[in-house]
Structure 1
Amino acid sequence: MRSLEADRGSTKSTWRRLAAVPAVPTHYEPHHDRFPIVVVVAGISLLPLLNPKGPANTAPVDFIMMAAIVVVGVWVGTTLTRVHVPYVLPAAGLALAGLIAALAGGSPMSGSIAIVQEVFLLAWCAAITSLCRTPRSLRTVVRGWCVSATAWAIFLIMVEMSGRTRLPGGTGGEGGRARLWFDHPNLAGNYFAVAIFIVLAARYPRHPVARHLSVIA
């Protein structure tokens, strides 16, 4: 009997010690994602910086996006957050088609660069979707997009009013169409068109007058 009571006492003390051990966090705590959000918003805000070009068709914004991918990856690893990878099947199909074309074509190097670009964009999408897991983080990223696109639109209007269609490091306009640092005026138009939909969908700025002025800009 004494041995049984001793075993029970030791078992209870063992459970008490285990209960005192702090649990390993399985999700990030509020406000632990501030720095990743800042870096991702910076990458989204600087999307128009596609010129001047560097090696392998790289652009200045690519380095910010790469930094955001790394920061979000470290954040995911330390907080044990689940990774979401959207468009994985379409991206895999494009990468496979590009690989086949690169091997069969006469310029495998350019084909390999295209595959790397597809993987890079897929990682960028995964970083954004993995980070925007709460209403607060999604709201911050979307609002950063709205504000930055409006700022770029105002900047473009000021450039046009000054008559300086060719920007330092940019490529100027085509047929009177400005394009900031985008590769083509149509690409600039697509950027601002998507930004208009984002502003309307997010209803930001909150004030209707400011929101309408943002869309008009």
Structure 2
Amino acid sequence: MATVTAGFTPGRTSLTSPVGARHETLLRTVTFIACAAMVFQPILRPAGPGNSSPVDLLTVAMVLVSFLWAATCGRRLGAPYSLAGALLLLSGAVAGLAGPLPGTSLVNLTKESLLLAWCVALYNIARRPGVLRLLTAAFAYASVVWASVLVGATLAHITAVEGISPTEGDRKLFTLGDPNYAATYWVVSLFMVYAAQRPRARALRWYGYTMLLWALLLTQSNGGVLALCAGLVLLAAYTICRKAGPVAAAAIVLAPALVIGTALTTTPLTHVQDRALLSQQTELVNTLGRSGASTEQRGVLVRESLQLYDRQWLTGSGPGTTKQLLQDRDFPYAKEAHDDYLAALVERGPLGVVALLTLLMSAAWRSSRVLRAPPGTGFAAQVPRPAGLVAALLGLAVAGAYYEVLHFRFLWMLLAMVAVLATEPDPDDPYGRPTAEGRAVTVPSPAGGRGDPA
């Protein structure tokens, strides 16, 4: 992980100096903006130029203020996933310059640069005392409120709030604008509520789970349910592993696969899909019923995308160019790549595949550290169930096989949080260390020695 020291070097009385006071003011400001960004993550409509959204105003503001804060913090700053991020931008830039749509590629690279900056900014402020607790709690509470608003609007048939789109049938999108984005937001929110254990009261927390699951079902997304199941299997295996060992955990993972395999052997999936399609139940028709057609369409898109790749196999066609090129070349099914792994190859070439694999391995390594760490130690003292964040990240990794999640804002938020949990608090930090309550504990430095852990 790349690091850099910014600003002044504070002494023990630096918080009372003018520079220290300015630092504290900026820290509070950037933390407030970051919490607001957590709250308004699903507010993507009305859309602006370049598919920008209202929440992007908070994202940009948070990044800019975090730069000012970094200039006064006087501590070593980190840049997690820096190698993967650099490779993503490099592969995108090379493909864009060599490809037929450099303007489209430039727009997408600008978005990616903002998301990488958002991740780095979140990582550094979340290492301040109590900030990680605030961020996870803000996201969890807000998601329960938004889900409740959507469910209430559905029961009251308030179409404007439901977010029904003429192109998406009866699927409830709220202000998220896209069924895939909406489904993954609700999945991530479910795991965030579990990780943060917010709301605190058990009854309210289960109310939150119910509302979030209801909102997920309203999207009628097969992929969202699959991502949720992947995360739940991980949580079950992790819990069993800590209690009964890895053999029992392996059984938990293999059991669902065995049950599903047996069921598909006795009852072919196509038979289930046909019965759902003919059931005249809207929910079944739009989920299991359309899954066969969706799979066929994605197969067509894969074949078309690989034909594009044949023309520019060395560099790729450029980030975000798949749909436009398919339209320009009169392919019958012109859509976005709908697959991060395929898009990395087609739009960025072999270097893009290396970049994506680097990101996956870096995230997996940090996730394993989070899962192996003793509960309640380090930054995990601020997140009661950190495995929930890893489960959400796994769900998004699975979703990447049938969505393009690399441009999802909350993916980079999760990456930043997992990176924080995978590191140790700095014992030399003059601003204290995080505790379970989120308070700062001052760490005095003995003469001639390093700060002792509080």
- TM superposition score normalised by structure 1: 0.80
User: Which of the numbers 167, 172, 186 marks the counterpart of 2:165?
Assistant: 172
Question: Which SS does the other structure have where 1:144 is aligned?
Answer: helix
AA of the residue aligned to 1:42: A
**1:14 paired residue number:** none
Supply the distance in 1 between the matched residues of 2:145 and 2:132 (Cα, whole angstroms).
20
Q: Verify the 8 A CA contact 2:34 2:135 in the aligned structure 1.
A: yes
Question: Which SS does the other structure have where 1:83 is aligned?
Answer: strand
Shift in CA distance, 194/24, structure 1 to aligned 2, threshold 3 Å: same
Shift in CA distance, 98/171, structure 1 to aligned 2, threshold 3 Å: farther
Which entry has the higher C-alpha Rg, 1 or 2? Answer: 1
Shift in CA distance, 22/150, structure 1 to aligned 2, threshold 3 Å: closer
Supply the distance in 2 between the matched residues of 1:200 and 1:145 (Cα, whole angstroms).
12
Supply the distance in 2 between the matched residues of 1:41 and 1:202 (Cα, whole angstroms).
14
Q: Superposition RMSD on alpha carbons, in Å?
A: 2.7
Supply the distance in 2 between the matched residues of 1:78 and 1:134 (Cα, whole angstroms).
14
**1:141 paired residue number:** 135
**2:147 paired residue number:** 153
User: Which of the numbers 48, 64, 68 marks the counterpart of 1:74?
Assistant: 68
Supply the distance in 2 between the matched residues of 1:123 and 1:111 (Cα, whole angstroms).
18
Supply the distance in 2 between the matched residues of 1:22 and 1:145 (Cα, whole angstroms).
34
Supply the distance in 1 between the matched residues of 2:12 and 2:146 (Cα, whole angstroms).
48
**1:37 paired residue number:** 31
Indicate whether 1:198 and 2:178 are aligned. no
Supply the distance in 2 between the matched residues of 1:163 and 1:206 (Cα, whole angstroms).
31
**1:132 paired residue number:** 126
Indicate whether 1:112 and 2:106 are aligned. yes
After the TM superposition, list the runs of 4 or more consecutive aligned residues in structure 1 that deviate by more than 6 angstroms. 27-31
Question: Which SS does the other structure have where 1:70 is aligned?
Answer: helix
Q: Verify the 8 A CA contact 1:46 1:61 in the aligned structure 2.
A: yes
Aligned residues: 196
Q: Verify the 8 A CA contact 2:30 2:62 in the aligned structure 1.
A: yes
Shift in CA distance, 211/128, structure 1 to aligned 2, threshold 3 Å: same
AA of the residue aligned to 1:200: Y
Shift in CA distance, 75/192, structure 1 to aligned 2, threshold 3 Å: same
Percent pairwise identity: 30
Shift in CA distance, 203/123, structure 1 to aligned 2, threshold 3 Å: same
Supply the distance in 2 between the matched residues of 1:134 and 1:187 (Cα, whole angstroms).
30
**1:3 paired residue number:** none
Instruction: Give 1:167 deviation, angstroms.
Output: 4.1
Instruction: Give 1:209 deviation, angstroms.
Output: 1.1
Q: C-alpha offsets along residues 38-90 of structure 1, whole Å, 9 cap, x if unaligned?
A: 10011121111222222222211111110111112211212224322222222
Instruction: Give 1:127 deviation, angstroms.
Output: 1.1
Shift in CA distance, 166/83, structure 1 to aligned 2, threshold 3 Å: same
Indicate whether 1:185 and 2:179 are aligned. yes
Question: Which SS does the other structure have where 2:152 is aligned?
Answer: helix
Q: What residue ranges of structure 2 are gaps of 5+ in the alignment?
A: 1-10, 212-454
Instruction: Give 1:135 deviation, angstroms.
Output: 4.6
Supply the distance in 1 between the matched residues of 2:156 and 2:107 (Cα, whole angstroms).
38
- TM superposition score normalised by structure 2: 0.40
Q: What residue ranges of structure 1 are gaps of 5+ in the alignment?
A: 1-20
Q: Verify the 8 A CA contact 2:40 2:55 in the aligned structure 1.
A: yes
**1:12 paired residue number:** none
